[in-house]
Amino acid sequence: MGGAAGTGQALRLQAFAQIFPFQPTSLRFSERVKAMQKTKVAIVGMGTVGSGVAQLLLDHGDRTARHAGRVLWLEKVVVRDKSKARLADLPEDVLTDNLQDVLDDPDITVVAQLIGGLEPARSIMLQLLEAGKDIVTANKALLAEHGPELFEKARQLGRSIAFEASVAGGIPIITNISQCLSANQLSSLEGILNGTSNFIVTQMDRLGMPYDQAVKIAQEKGYAEADPTMDVDGTDAAQKLAILAHLAFGAHVSWRDIPRVGIDQLDPADLQYARELGYRIKLLATAHLDQAGLELHVAPTLVRAGLPLAEVQDAFNAIAVVGDAVGPVFYHGLGAGQMPTASAVVADIIDTAVGRTKLTFQTLELFSSAGPPRVRLRAFDELPGRYYFRLHVADSPGVLAKITGALGEQGISIASVIQHEPDGRGDGTTVPLVVMTHEAPEGAAGRAATAIEGLPEVCGNVVRLRVKA
């Protein structure tokens, strides 16, 4: 059903294992724990994450039982092909290639649905809900696309869906926003939500490596898929931001409506110039709430060096949250990989088994479209920001005045200008120019960039990046 991990998944597993080695114990269940009440659990999908979940349930049986107050008994694992080798050591009678074995068993009450993609994952989730199962999932794409439908069905049937592992892997951001920070009005959420893109940017920054070469290394190490588009173009981060924006701010927003710019147009020169200016560049998912409304976007952003987000390296994720009572809070950890994600799934299984998930699910009305949105989404063009412009210009008098004029026509003032020595680009007669601006609306900055590109003294495209306030 879910299939065994493919070559890409195996490489990804090896890569994350180097960062986060997991040493399973030989412990299954002690005699004291065996006397506890059982909650029977099933897993659908035995890929990288599913294998990690099974291993944790089997090898940490005593530990999870003490936390849950009951034994989490792995009753069934649904796979597509029973004959394939598995990453977890499973008893033969646990494996099945028939989903109906789970649907028809009333004693199985919690199911970890760990198939990726949209279909058949969506159809399987609906079948499980109809069969009276509470669900745990790590599928952020499914929730971002079909969350309202699935959550409404769960509410109608008195069931619950837990999804901690769908965003930021081992970082418990869903629980922290929905429970630990529930007394706060959140005003800001900024995060590095995609480990693949952060690894690529780190390679470019640390080694001066071209984008294509950094992507190739990420693929060789297992961080990036053969087709890395969703990671590098901001789609993955936008899907996660849509989920977090719903939880944190009650925003009714599709990930498709979140403006996003990827890292595929970044150049090592931008990372070098950012360093000279005292910044680091990160693919930042941003949500800011003020009296004007909610600001949402994903884009490469200059972050002041020394800030926690600026120092997040390699495949790690991080999220910075600001609440009116708690103040700033920072979360950092591995956002993907077998065991970090499996850890989040098992935590959700425990919460579901003891009833905590259902209570939260019912009170928060997650993904509910009933009633008006709690916040107004701000139009992207009206969002204020400071900007970094990089362009190549003819080394001739009067050029800077024309650029200043193009910015001034849009009401944008210059904070600083840095001119560098020729870098060998263009026809050899142009020089790179970096302009930092004061705050201006996004739309005005975009129009200014277009006007500057049209100047005869400007060679090629203008690179424009946001600067974190």
Q: What is the CATH number of the domain that holds 145?
A: 3.40.50.720
pLDDT recorded at residue 4 = 40
CA distances from 403 to 32, 70, 236, 359, 424 (A): 76, 68, 35, 58, 22
Number of H helices, E strands in the chain: 17, 16
Encoded amino acid at 357, one letter: T
Report whether 179 contacts 365 (CB < 8 A): no
Q: Is residue 177 one of the residues assigned to a domain?
A: no
Nearest Cα neighbor of 375 from 247, 192, 261, 469 is: 247
Number of domains in the chain: 3
Encoded amino acid at 302, one letter: L
46 is in an annotated binding site: yes
49 is in an annotated binding site: yes
Nearest Cα neighbor of 150 from 234, 237, 77, 243 is: 243
| Residue 69 phi, psi dihedral angles, 5° rounding | 75, 15
Q: How many Cα atoms sit within 13 Å of 457 on the Cβ side?
A: 16
428 is in an annotated binding site: no
Q: Is residue 372 one of the residues assigned to a domain?
A: no
| Residue 356 phi, psi dihedral angles, 5° rounding | -65, -40
438-456 core/surface letters (b: 16 or more CB in 10 A; e: else): eebbbebbebbbebbeebe
Kindly report the average pLDDT of the chain as a whole number.
88
Length of the chain as a residue count: 469
45 is in an annotated binding site: yes
Task: Tell whether 290 and 307 lie within a shared domain.
Answer: yes
337 is in an annotated binding site: no
Task: Tell whether 267 and 294 lie within a shared domain.
Answer: yes
Task: Tell whether 88 and 142 lie within a shared domain.
Answer: yes
Task: Tell whether 330 and 355 lie within a shared domain.
Answer: no
Report whether 377 contacts 253 (CB < 8 A): yes
SS3 content of the chain, % helix, strand, coil (to 5): 40, 25, 35
64 is in an annotated binding site: no
Task: Tell whether 148 and 36 lie within a shared domain.
Answer: yes
Q: How many Cα atoms sit within 13 Å of 441 on the Cβ side?
A: 11
The DSSP line for 9-43 is HHHHHHHHHHHS-----S----HHHHTSPEEEEEE
Q: How many Cα atoms sit within 13 Å of 231 on the Cβ side?
A: 20
Q: Is residue 376 one of the residues assigned to a domain?
A: no
Task: Tell whether 151 and 30 lie within a shared domain.
Answer: yes
Q: H or E element: which one contains 192?
A: strand 186-192
Report whether 368 contacts 149 (CB < 8 A): no
Q: Is residue 375 one of the residues assigned to a domain?
A: no
Task: Tell whether 148 and 61 lie within a shared domain.
Answer: yes
Q: Is residue 462 one of the residues assigned to a domain?
A: yes
Encoded amino acid at 256, one letter: R
Q: pLDDT tens for residues 385-428?
A: 999 999 999 888 889 999 999 999 999 999 999 987 776 665 56
Domain at 312, CATH number = 3.30.360.10
Q: Which two tokens stand for residue 381?
A: 């063009």
Task: Tell whether 141 and 106 lie within a shared domain.
Answer: yes
Q: What domain range is 56 assigned to?
A: 7-170+341-364
| Contacts within 8 Å (CB) and 24+ apart, 231-235 | 231/194, 231/196, 231/197, 232/196, 232/197, 232/200, 232/262, 232/263, 232/264, 233/260, 233/262, 233/264, 234/260, 234/261, 234/262, 234/263, 234/283, 234/298, 234/299, 235/260
The DSSP bridge partners found for residue 188 are 288, 322
pLDDT-flagged residues of the chain (< 50): 1-10, 12-13, 15-27
Nearest Cα neighbor of 453 from 383, 393, 378 is: 393
Q: pLDDT tens for residues 169-228?
A: 889 999 999 889 989 999 999 999 999 999 999 999 999 999 999 999 999 988 888 899
Q: Is residue 369 one of the residues assigned to a domain?
A: no
Task: Tell whether 319 and 358 lie within a shared domain.
Answer: no
Task: Tell whether 13 and 137 lie within a shared domain.
Answer: yes
Q: Is residue 175 one of the residues assigned to a domain?
A: no
363 is in an annotated binding site: no
pLDDT recorded at residue 184 = 95
Sign of CA dihedral 95, 96, 100, 104: negative
N- to C-terminal Cα separation, the chain: 47
323 is in an annotated binding site: no
Report whether 277 contacts 418 (CB < 8 A): yes
Q: Looking at 176-267, list the stretches that DSSP marks H as alpha helix, in order from N- to C-terminal side.
A: 195-207, 211-220, 229-232, 235-249
CA distance 27 to 139: 30
What is the DSSP-derived secondary structure letter of residue 179? Answer: I
Q: Is residue 176 one of the residues assigned to a domain?
A: no
Task: Tell whether 123 and 215 lie within a shared domain.
Answer: no
Task: Tell whether 135 and 219 lie within a shared domain.
Answer: no
Q: Which two tokens stand for residue 436?
A: 């930092």
Enzyme catalytic residues: 240
CA distance 77 to 75: 7
